[in-house]
Amino acid sequence: MPETTQFAGMGDGSGNFTTSLQANTVLLARYKILGVLGGGGQGSVYQARDLNFPDVRKLVAVKEMLNPATDANLRASTLKTFQREANILATLSHPAIPKIFDFFDQNDRAYLVMEYINGSDLEILLSKTKELPMEKIIEWAIDLCDVLEYLHRHQPEAIIFRDMKPSNVMIDSLGKVRLIDFGIAKNFVPNVKNTMIGTEGYSAPEQYKGNVSPLSDIYSLGATLHHVLTRRDPRLEPPFSFAERPIPDLNPKTPPELVSLVEKAVEFEPSKRYQSCAEMKTELEYLRYRPLNMPAINISSGRASAAPVDGTDFFPDASQSGEIVPKWKFKTEDEIRCSPMVYREYAYIGSYDTNVWAVKTDTGEFVWKHPTNGGIASSPVLDESNKLILFGSEDYSFNAVDYRTGRINWSYAARDRIRSTARVAHGRVFFGCDDGKVYALMSMNGRFLWSYDMAAPVRGCPFVTNELIIVGSEAGEVVALELNGNRKWGFRAKRNVTSSPFVDPVEGICYIGSQDNHMYALDASSGFSSWRFRTNGPVISSPTVAEGMLYFGSADGHLYCLNAQTSKEKWKFNTEKPIVSSPIVHKGAVYFGGTDDYFYCVDCQSGKERWKFKTGGPITSSPCIAGDVILIGSMDKTLYALPLVT
């Protein structure tokens, strides 16, 4: 089984490339060749500049296919193979797959123009480094499982990559995995024999017989991980001999769970391997994303080991000194700016690491994560009738995923970042976007219904009544829309309205804050102003009403408690730093976070502090109560579960 052509930064192992284009050659009057990136026997890959962008230096990769065959049928077959690669890439959209920009032929040669990836492939990294960080290897393995699962679930037909190996895995300048060289990838048709093609040492046993399936890619991924962990190239070893090179003997630092995982992936019999990349990814994520207080999981048996990861027992409700101590905490990879949400046994949280995470509410144990291509400031919300978790991302997408698995159900592409938390009502989902619009979609399938242009970013969460959708914009306008998207009334504050409105259903009053330092009370049916209350700083915090009292924070460092009807101040609580977190009220206490890194519990009647808990960063999100715990996210990248001590 011959080794396939390598490209996009790789050679054939000898450093000799077949090249035909010289520097400064211009293809299609658009792509100016700058130099050679790599190649093989059938062509080269070049770095080029896209001249359609004269004011910026936009780089692309141009893959050239040489076609030296003189036989017309063979030339046609070779061109068809190259076109197949282009067609496959053109249908794919995944952060780990290079984007395709163009495909054309010129001077009897075919060219594929794609995203230029600045980085090195794993084979080069292995040759240049003595040791790769274990956490990075696990992270890359998770990302490779994710992209392979995407290919295997591709519609209308699954795609089998067929050539997973270190030289086809690029690590870009941001440390992210990119899967390259789709030259022998093909659509999967069950029970149909294929050409015996692949790379010896990495290819699954059945691949030598022309029988490939998603399980063949799993074997190749396991072979790749074995190579990375042991530094033993399987191309130089007898076929299917991984058991003769035990990972612990060659790399004692490898966690036993990871050893078991790789051994299962390279099982000779397909039925003994992981039956999907999603299954393999889940076990990798258990290994990587255990909550800080959880015992290590034996991923082969599913049982917990005797000793917790950090050497401590589960957190008690409080320490002997009386301080609040978390029941558990879960670490993400970047800041948490949005609020958690709980449904059944799971808690959900978005992070600026571009993921929405699901953990078990009682233990903080990792369940799944759903990746996007942008940071997440939008809090996840629930469509209970369809069992969907909905959220927006700064990659311009609004997503609906299954609450149990995190698998995408539908996605809608807006025209700018989505920082607004959505509201589900009347079988629809309403949210704002930085493109200045309020959107209404069918919540079950994402079908577009209407949008309303507010001419400025919309970052607050809409409030939906039986008749109206009320929301503010960064231009300072508050509007009420009918359920069909028609405007009913508008109110203009003097500055941005980032605060989300709250409508008291009994009094029919809409409360909303503005960066003009005021909290406003508006008649929900007409928009007429009942009163306004001035603070000494912008009001970004969203208000809430409980037992006739209105609670909200201000950038002047105070949490305010007002009479909701008269705006008379009952008390204010000083934290000395801006409060942008929105409070919640529960059993006579108001809970909120501060940018002073503290989470507070304050008595509703007296305005006196009951307790506070210090995190490692500012808290901009709202808390969520689930049974006997209160969940809060912090910009220290952590989701905390605190005992509900009143």
In the DSSP assignment, the letter for residue 295 is E
pLDDT tens digits, one per residue of 438-491: 999 999 999 999 999 999 999 999 999 999 999 999 999 999 999 999 999 999
Q: What is the pLDDT of residues 205-256, one digit of tens each?
A: 998 888 888 999 999 999 999 999 999 999 999 989 999 999 999 999 999 8
CB atoms within 10 A of CB 427: 11
Can you read off the two tokens belonging to residue 552?
A: 């909200």
From residue 365, alpha-carbon distances to 222, 285, 294, 331, 502 in Å are 26, 11, 7, 11, 33
Which residue matches tokens 């990375």?
228
pLDDT of 293 reads 40
Q: In this predicted structure, what is the pLDDT of residue 64?
A: 85
**CATH topology classification for 26-115:** Phosphorylase Kinase; domain 1 (3.30.200)
pLDDT at 287: 75
Q: What pLDDT was estimated at residue 361?
A: 96
Is pLDDT above 80 for 143? yes
Entry pTM: 0.61
The answer to whether 129 touches 184, Cβ cutoff 8 Å, is no
Rounded to whole angstroms, how far apart are CA atoms 429 and 419? 15
Q: What's the mean pLDDT in 565-574? A: 96
Q: Any idea of the CA torsion for 612, 615, 618, 624, to the nearest 10 degrees?
A: -70
- Name which of 191-205, 302-316, 354-368, 517-531 the model is least confident about: 302-316
Please state the domain extents for the chain. 26-115, 133-288
Nearest to 350 by CA among 389, 386, 384: 389
Location of structure tokens 């249908």: 91
CA–CA distance, 113 with 105 (Å, rounded to integer): 11
- The whole-number average pLDDT for the span 15-41 is 77
The answer, yes or no, to whether residue 291 has pLDDT greater than 80, is no
Distance CA 132, CA 478 (A): 53
Residue with the bigger pLDDT between 499 and 10: it is 499
**Which DSSP letter does residue 576 get?**
S
For residue 275, the model assigns a pLDDT of: 93
Closest CA to 578 of 492, 501, 517, 494: 517
Tell me what pLDDT residue 304 has.
36
CA count, 13 A, side-chain hemisphere, 412 = 25
Tokens at 604, concatenated: 């509703």
DSSP state of 461: P
Please tell me the number of Cα atoms within 13 Å of 91 on its side-chain side: 18
Choose between 196 and 377: higher pLDDT: 377
- What is the reported pLDDT for 646? 61
DSSP 595: T
Residues 533 and 518 sit within 8 Å (Cβ to Cβ): yes
Take residue 573 and report the two structure tokens written for it: 């609580």
Q: How many CB atoms lie within 10 A of CB 23?
A: 11
Q: Do domains 26-115 and 133-288 have the same CATH topology?
A: no
- CATH top class, domain 133-288: mainly alpha
- Cα(564)–Cα(543) distance, integer angstroms: 10
